[in-house]
Amino acid sequence: MNEGCVPTKAMIRSAEVMHLVARRAAEFGVEVEGSVKFNLARAVTRKDAIVQGILDGIYGALERRREAITFARGEARFLNDHEIDTGEGQLSFEKAIIATGARNVLPPINGITEIDYLTNRTALHIEQLPDSMVIIGGGYIGIEFAQMYSRFGTKVTLLGRNRHLAPGEDPELAALLADYLREEGIVVHTDTPVVSVQPDGSQKVVTGLVNGVATDFRADAVLLAAGRVANTERLDLGVAGISTDKRGFIQVDSQLQTNQPHIWAIGDVKGGWMFTHVATYDGPIAALNVVKGTGRTVDYRVVPRAIFSDPTLATVGLTEIEAQAQGYDGAVGSVPADGARAKAIGDNRGRLKAVVDNATGEILGFHILAPHGDDLLHEAVAAMHGHGPIERISKSIHVHPTLSEMVKAAARAAR
């Protein structure tokens, strides 16, 4: 399980409920007497129970297969290309799969080691809400935690070094999402690299360049969300002859094979798309190649991704800009997320965009900023497999009124 993945989503749900009750209950005819308070301890307890249930299921499955699987705990390191040390003994192997994941990188910011900072992992275990927080990083972790903590009641400032939030995603949708965050009271600065941090009593001072001008942001807590690095530095990969890039990510081919033909790597440890669902996609392919020598290859052309903000930003494939850069004559179907069901549930924020190859009708990408966009996206993901045409969506019948009708509307707008 990707660290923080399910725990974060459990806490995000608590934030959604808090936001709905505290700010919007009356809109739906629900009257709340007195003030609405957020109980962090109860939210954490709920989150921990969910996580423990998942872990119990994983370890229970291992226990039920103990005749076929030997499970050992320890910190492994390679002794050579056919042996590892677990800390409690040595194991020899004919073939191996490395799946040690990745972690937050410590950015090169002056003074960063002089302060106590939070990460997406430690921020899920704090016992008291800070009154204020600066989040460094405008990617999916920074966005999710900014909205979550803001809805808990913390005053949040989000600093991203790129031109827009969610770098790599559709700029128009990213800009809309930034506006929605600002409407909720979050201070959002893009194109703002952080140059230094320093302690100041019980607070921290973060200095960023806003329009090139050094600007101080003071807060009780600082959360780092500025990239990831592979968990490989303690594996002693060199003695096994395994190649990595400069950030420690293991280099693999399309069969997930390292430069050592009997060793494979899956998930975050190899870089690229660092999502739990990519790791679970990699796993069976690597296993079949290891055990049966099937020569299966990965296809990352259709990797869905989502930022669990509210509304959700969910995307797959190429953006309009990327399609143009790759030489496609692309058509874009763009519609607002204001379908009948969106109006009924009281949230018609956002936009949906379909990117289509004009010559063939093939779906090149689909981009959704809308309530439950993460679930809506999978219609496009399924349609894109096998290089499917946009008619798979535009000519299909959708239940009315549903949010999925907006997916069809974007598809129709692209033709």
Structure confidence by residue, pLDDT tens digits, 161-184: 999 999 999 999 999 999 999 999
Domain extents for the chain? 1-65, 72-99+236-306, 112-226, 311-413
pLDDT over 60 at 352, yes or no: yes
- CA 230 to centroid of chain Cα atoms: 16
- CA 311 to centroid of chain Cα atoms: 15
Annotated active-site residue in 125, 262, 385, 400:
400
Q: CA 329 to CA 308: how far, in whole Å?
A: 31
Beta strands in 14-89 (DSSP E): 77-80, 83-85
Cis, bond preceding 401 (omega within 30 deg of 0) = yes
CA of 102: how far to CAs of 2, 55, 226, 329, 382, in Å?
A: 9, 19, 13, 37, 28
Helix, strand, coil % in the chain, rounded to nearest 5: 35, 25, 40
Closest C-alpha to 46, from 98, 9, 5, 101: 9
Crossing angle for the helix pair 40-64 and 5-24, to the nearest 10 degrees: 150
Amino acid 306 reads A
Cβ contacts of residue 191 below 8 Å, gap of 6+?
160, 161, 162, 163, 211
Please give the pLDDT value at position 245: 94
Condensed to tens digits (0 to 9), the pLDDT of residues 296-344 reads 999 999 999 999 999 999 999 999 999 999 999 999 999 999 999 999 9
What is 72-99+236-306's CATH superfamily? FAD/NAD(P)-binding domain (3.50.50.60)
Please give the pLDDT value at position 73: 87
Domain 72-99+236-306 and domain 311-413, same fold? Reply is no
Residue 396 DSSP SS3: coil
The CATH number for 112-226, chosen from 2.40.50.140, 3.30.565.60, 3.40.50.720, 3.50.50.60, is 3.50.50.60
Instruction: Say how many C-beta atoms besides its own lie within 10 A of residue 385's C-beta.
Output: 12
Instruction: Outline where 159-253 has alpha helix (H).
Output: 171-183, 237-240
* Domain boundaries 311-413, CATH class: alpha beta
Beta strands in 64-154 (DSSP E): 77-80, 83-85, 90-92, 96-98, 102-104, 132-136
Condensed to tens digits (0 to 9), the pLDDT of residues 226-281 reads 989 999 999 999 999 999 998 999 999 999 999 999 999 999 999 999 999 999 99
pTM tops 0.85, yes or no: yes
Q: CA 276 to CA 184: how far, in whole Å?
A: 29
pLDDT over 90 at 415, yes or no: no
For residue 277, indicate whether it is catalytic: no
